[in-house]
Amino acid sequence: MNEPLAPFPHHHYVVCIGVLNELVLVYERTKPPGGSQGLNGPGGSIEPGETVQTAAAREWRQEVHGLPHEAPRYWTEIGKIEIEGEPITVHFMAVKIEELPGPCLLVDHHPATFVSPWAVQFDGRWADFFQRHARQAVRFFRA
């Protein structure tokens, strides 16, 4: 996590899972780049020379609005997946949200909400991966 990642043609992505108590921050992805639709967390490509954590912090600053912009204090990588048959790795970073000072918006002003990763049915290509890691993130900060 603290070392820059392998260069292209292998693609690395980061998904940030914001945790507030027992809930995770999500937004409805309506114009997905890869055809995936449904609930998702903020994130994107890890740029050449970035670590997973610096990419997560950059994506968080770029996409999450309505929360304090200073870097959250509690980050941890909770897992990663390799997409079978594709040169893609997706890293899941959990971030603890300590308080919610006001309404929260995500990239392109899509309304965000907090949901229980046990109560919501996630749809789309990344649904199982996101839900599994969201549950793991809640458990991590519960401990």
Q: Which domain holds residue 80?
A: 11-142
- 1 domain residue, yes or no: no
- 94 domain residue, yes or no: yes
pLDDT at position 55 is: 92
- 113 domain residue, yes or no: yes
- 44 domain residue, yes or no: yes
- CATH number, domain with residue 24: 3.90.79.10
Q: Structural domain tally of the chain?
A: 1
Kindly report whether the global pTM for this prediction surpasses the value 0.85: no
SS3 of the chain? CCCCCCCCCCEEEEEEEEEECCEEEEEEECCCCCCCCEEECCEEECCCCCCHHHHHHHHHHHHCECCCCCCCCCEEEEEEEECCCCCEEEEEEEEECCCCCCCCEEHHHEEEEEECCCCCCCCCCCHHHHHHHHHHHHHHHHC
- 93 domain residue, yes or no: yes
Residue-wise pLDDT tens for the chain (143 aa)?
566 665 556 788 998 999 998 999 888 766 555 555 677 788 899 998 899 989 998 888 888 887 765 566 778 888 888 877 778 888 999 988 887 767 667 666 778 888 899 887 766 666 778 888 899 999 988 86
- 2 domain residue, yes or no: no
- 60 domain residue, yes or no: yes
- 102 domain residue, yes or no: yes
